[in-house]
Structure 1
């Protein structure tokens, strides 16, 4: 890996590291395992990940950003970043083969960053699923934290609380901050408090919300890991050393070794290092921060109407007040409702008490126990080559709408238990089926028997849209054998196309 040239930057070099993981169970049914919270689109059309990327790229002198994500969501990350790409900013992707919490993610990213940017760089760890609305104040807080990180070890970001919040962890300091952006030693980290204690924290002024953002140099963090979490420090080494690395003009990708990484302990960076270290300070700041941790938090991002309602989508309301209603493709009618959250998607509907949205994860847990696919997949599923949407299914048949990006290709594959009929309705498709190759135009079709190797490629400059009809005794997405794949999924768990 090569060091990036940046002659105009001030020393030290600042490198934001965006941690893009998690499942966001409290934001079901929009956030799901295969399409988690960072990829949710807000009312302005941007995802939380895109906002984090743009926020990092806007910091002074930043020319390099790293993003740590799961291998399975790599293509979603790349698509989101490409949509809002900032010229002159290189992205380094670190791919985790399995989820191992934030300590492993930060340890791996820190080792890679030290190799790529040097030991004197200052790393800024940012979760991808948070919102910061005061970007100017954020930039000042980062500059303050970066300077302190050079002198005082690890610097965490503490948010000046605006209410008695029981859903956040807190950072205790010795006395109330004297300015809007101030650095102070951390006295202790405090778990999520009960309501009465949260009120005391708010009144006392010595407790800040823990934003889960950190500044440090690679040498500092790796030294702290060696002292407080030596197991993780040792286990990360082979995963990084045996990683698969690729580079292009404006990005690099490091795929951590799966066999080594799965042995790393799963623990948060807070438990592994922050709560144990004596080398941690906090920058107290007010930056318009929200962790977007519940539907109540989402609802508060938009302005209410005269009745206190916040609405996204097409609705018809009568005698409704203080509700958040979000829909996609259907009209939602509501009558005589108070203090509810209603979130409608094509295959799942959430109706919740506005003040109990933290408990949505209990619904997801119940669906998981029942092995219901709505906790993992949407009706429209994203793949590296495009999307598919299940239109209809029944005993021994399933219909899908498949959209293939220009130049993209499904894997060369075979199904044991089903045949498929493809009908192109837009664009064109090159199809390999068995020993023959055909090109399909709109309103043309082909039949693929079970057991035949086949592949579809979109050779055009427009999206290719087709209708797929599956017939067979078993139609599960795991009935697939891959022989070739452009997206490195031959070793990955079975998934559709």
Structure 2
């Protein structure tokens, strides 16, 4: 059986300001109505290969985003493993291997590791390569997917592979090469036996664990300790943080791949992109007659080769070319398309100055729904809150702020002190400082309300929970 392992960690800083550490690119809907994570799973669903339920690995802070996005596409049997801290890909993949071993109790298991933020257009060709990789596992414990390069890319690592195929489309890996400069990348492209390292691979489960013991025992031992002490928490597998933190912070390439002599590679030419920059997103999108990619409320005159994402305002272009313009409610990026690999430098500068725009999104997801900050001022804050059907916020109080709630859609069930009552559209209530309260959506449609907070301290940590459906009390 083939178990998909989907790596859904990472911060995606090069797609700032849409992508932020609280809501990184794998959860964004950049290509269609689905997120990159959802597209990754739906791509597997379209194949004739009989995959079992996926294992998704993500950071703890993103657990409810993942759960909601899986629910949206009808995935109810997946296993979501929470990383308490990012330790790179080797520990994450080892956790998935240990979980698969514990769950399936058979030697006939292959794990297929994918990133949650890739785009692959040619699904039949992708399916063909997956079948080739499974054939390759008869000759090697690990088969990686190398992307046929189309141009001299400097942002990817490369794989040097043998020109003589072991089987059609299956080659022996000679060595791995770090990200080259442009001149060297042009040489690789001309030689023809270099491929981009996609980060996707398939391995035999039992042999993988043997190899990890041989080459990366620290990772295996501490990952196993953390998994053996794991606890189920709602729909999640919460591993032991203390043990997991002791894992080496190392990629699977350094921990294992580069140490194997019989590593095989399948060449994948299926319209792959890791969407690692705004220019990569421009490359894969359909364009207008002026070679622009325009999303949102955009007007352009005499402008070409631009990418524009407008989230909340009208963006107008006049006589410009080769620009990336990304507008959100709290930030605006304007960059030359040739410089977008360095957007991460802006994020680093924002973090160094403790700017919330580096990490927080205006729209914040919670297990019960989401909220969006509309306005902030001295001693007040206004939010738009959406509570999903049947969900409930914790029973709580705030020591430094009062709250005014105005229902704009749906029905709210409110507890305020010893009272419990319903509010309909256009009705409101007031929660005093220090008053115990809760909010619930008992209806059959999402509940939307406006919350106006007033007080001397308005940060999210001013909360004392007494009861909570999601284990946060």
Q: TM-score range by the shorter chain?
A: over 0.9
Q: How far did residue 218 of structure 1 move?
A: 1.4
- For residues 56-205 of structure 1, the aligned pairs below 5 Å read 56-59=44-47, 60-85=49-74, 90-117=77-104, 118-175=106-163, 182-205=169-192
Aligned position for 1:26 = 14
Aligned with residue 217 of structure 1, among 204, 225, 245: 204
Q: How far did residue 178 of structure 1 move?
A: 9.5
The aligned length equals 471
Q: How far did residue 484 of structure 1 move?
A: 2.3
Q: Which stretches of structure 1, 4 residues or more, deviate above 6 A after TM superposition?
A: none
In 2 relative to 1, CA 316–444 (structure 1 residues): closer, same or farther, beyond 3 Å? same
Aligned position for 1:288 = 271
User: Could you tell which deviates more after superposition, 209-218 or 57-66?
Assistant: 57-66
Distance in structure 2 (CA, Å) of the matches to 1:182 and 1:287: 13
Q: How far did residue 177 of structure 1 move?
A: 5.8
Aligned position for 1:428 = 411
Q: Any idea what SS the aligned residue of 1:300 has?
A: helix
Q: Any idea what SS the aligned residue of 1:334 has?
A: strand
- For residues 36-435 of structure 1, the aligned pairs below 5 Å read 36-59=24-47, 60-85=49-74, 90-117=77-104, 118-175=106-163, 182-245=169-232, 253-435=236-418
Distance in structure 2 (CA, Å) of the matches to 1:439 and 1:57: 42
Q: Any idea what SS the aligned residue of 1:487 has?
A: coil
Aligned position for 1:9 = none
Cα distance per residue 1:27-51 (max 9 Å; x no partner): 0011111111111112422211111
Distance in structure 2 (CA, Å) of the matches to 1:319 and 1:286: 35
Aligned position for 1:3 = none
User: Could you tell which deviates more after superposition, 472-481 or 185-194?
Assistant: 472-481
Residue 470 (1) aligns with residue 453 (2) = yes
Q: Any idea what SS the aligned residue of 1:346 has?
A: coil
Distance in structure 2 (CA, Å) of the matches to 1:451 and 1:368: 33
CA contact (8 A) 1:321 1:337 kept: yes
User: Could you tell which deviates more after superposition, 236-245 or 57-66?
Assistant: 57-66
Cα distance per residue 1:376-432 (max 9 Å; x no partner): 122121211111111111111111111111111112222121111111121111112
- TM-score w.r.t. the length of structure 1 is 0.91
Distance in structure 2 (CA, Å) of the matches to 1:306 and 1:299: 14
Q: How far did residue 174 of structure 1 move?
A: 2.4
Distance in structure 2 (CA, Å) of the matches to 1:48 and 1:433: 40
CA contact (8 A) 1:57 1:63 kept: no
CA contact (8 A) 1:96 1:255 kept: yes
Q: How far did residue 220 of structure 1 move?
A: 1.6
- TM-score w.r.t. the length of structure 2 is 0.96
CA contact (8 A) 1:57 1:65 kept: no
CA contact (8 A) 2:411 2:425 kept: yes
Q: Any idea what SS the aligned residue of 2:219 has?
A: helix
Q: How far did residue 338 of structure 1 move?
A: 1.4
CA contact (8 A) 1:177 1:206 kept: no
Q: Any idea what SS the aligned residue of 2:100 has?
A: helix
Residue 489 (1) aligns with residue 450 (2) = no
Q: How far did residue 96 of structure 1 move?
A: 1.5
CA contact (8 A) 2:166 2:172 kept: no
Unmatched 5+ stretches in structure 2 = none
Q: Any idea what SS the aligned residue of 1:226 has?
A: helix
CA contact (8 A) 2:322 2:336 kept: yes
Distance in structure 1 (CA, Å) of the matches to 2:162 and 2:361: 47
Q: Any idea what SS the aligned residue of 2:334 has?
A: strand
Cα distance per residue 1:348-394 (max 9 Å; x no partner): 11100011110000011111111111111221212111111111111
CA contact (8 A) 2:165 2:172 kept: no
CA contact (8 A) 1:56 1:65 kept: no
Cα distance per residue 1:65-94 (max 9 Å; x no partner): 1111122212211222222226xx831221
